Amino acid sequence: MTIDQIAHSVRAGERIGAGEALELYRGATTGLLGQLADLVRARKHPGRVVTYIIDRNVNYTNVCVARCNFCAFYRPVGSPEGYVLGFDEIFRKIDETIAVGGVQLLLQGGHNPDVPLTWYEDLFRAIKQRYPAFKLHALSPPEVIHLSRLSRLPVPLVLDRLIHAGLDSVPGGGAEILVDRVRKLLHCDGKATSDEWLDVMRHAHHAGLRTTATMMYGTVETDEERIEHLLRLRALQDETGGFTAFIAWSYQPEHTELAGTEATGVDYLRTLAIARLVLDNFDNLQASWVTQGGKVGQLSLAYGANDMGSVMLEENVVRAAGASYCMDEVEIVRNIEDAGFVARRRNMHYEILGGPIFRERQVPRMLELATSREAGDLRVPEELRLYPARSRSGKTTRM
Ligand code: SF4
């Protein structure tokens, strides 16, 4: 099919296949891709509403045995820079989040062999006891797999235990590109193969949880593999309908073992647009302003995105690799409204909670992103000593 014929089928509301998606991705002008993606976005979201959520991205530990070569965030077991947050530190972060109108924690971290499943269960229960309405969007599929291996329990049982303790939804991190050739080259096939990642999401959806899906592009994958990634997500969404949203971000190369260069803004907009066209069964696509900056984030709203993601109060992972964009609610709303949309606050299920909170009451401006831990803060939380460590260094520090 020619580009014009494929564009015609998109306009007619027909599903596109792998060959057509690749043809468009490679051959269509950026203007045409944006026009088509905007058309599909407008069909799904005719009211010109663009949503965002106020939550906090907390990385509870940076110690990780997975050692993905694209990651600048992790520290190996025994590193003096390794940390695990204490329950009290996490409670303080929740208090700060609630103070600015936040409704959930996005809680993700490294695969730390010295933090067992019971630690997570106790943490989740403690959070729910103190903050019953506060939501836990926590533990990406590779973390769930890590806990399954560590506890020698099957993934569905680990998920059940976490849900019982208070898990509300699962973030789509760790997907990178769901093609095993790519995962091997990124040294991340050990933490989860493509099938394993999708399987955790399948189990989570069957258990009644909603989840998101992500894609980290711009490392070693081909255009075909980017499309294959999208098609694998679309197939699972056809099967379960459990994904609420899709988020694409570009690989951030600074301080990583893999190194290389970062994909351009045009590559991001084209990738976002093709995702909107392929993922015809996803309602929501987020703009990744955290990796692209506010201006490209705003432009994303013309390339298929209908959501500005999170008003981020804290970020550690992307910042470790060199990107540190910060927008508080005032800035996010300004970007949405200046692009001609109506800004609305939402929760993880994309239910509208209201208009901008800063117009309802006074909230502190957040002009700098917080970090999980101040550099050089090497405290070992008191309660961590109650849990068994697996590594030699973990056992030593808990003696
Ligand atoms: S990306 Fe996640 S799993 Fe991989 S090394 Fe970093 S923290 Fe560990």
Residues in the chain: 399
Å from CA of 249 to ligand 1 middle: 16
Buried (b) or exposed (e) across 261-276, using 16+ Cβ within 10 A? ebbeeeebbbbbbbbb
* Residues 176 and 141: beta-carbon distance below 8 Å: no
Q: Is 191 in the pocket of ligand 1 (CB under 6 A)?
A: yes
What pTM does this model have?
0.95
- Interatomic CA distance for residues 67 and 187, integer angstroms: 7
Q: Is 66 in the pocket of ligand 1 (CB under 6 A)?
A: yes
The mean pLDDT value of the chain amounts to: 94
pLDDT at position 193 is 98
Q: Which atom of ligand 1 is nearest to the CA of 109?
A: 7
User: Does the structure show a pLDDT above 90 at 134?
Assistant: yes
User: Does the structure show a pLDDT above 70 at 90?
Assistant: yes
Sign for the pseudo-dihedral over CA of 203, 312, 304, 230: negative
Please choose, from the candidates 239, 231, 228, the residue with its C-alpha nearest in 3D space to the C-alpha of residue 199: 239
Helices (H) and strands (E) in the chain, counts: 15, 10
Q: Is 197 in the pocket of ligand 1 (CB under 6 A)?
A: no
pLDDT tens digits for 28-63? 999 999 999 999 999 999 999 999 999 999 999 999
pLDDT band at 399 (very low <50, low <70, confident <90, very high): low
Which of 62, 74, 140, 176 should be mutated for ligand 1, with most atoms under 8 A from CB? 74
pLDDT tens digits for 259-277? 999 999 999 999 999 999 9
Q: Is 71 in the pocket of ligand 1 (CB under 6 A)?
A: yes
Q: Is 282 in the pocket of ligand 1 (CB under 6 A)?
A: no
pLDDT tens digits for 56-78? 999 999 999 999 999 999 999 99
Q: How many CB atoms lie within 10 A of CB 91?
A: 15
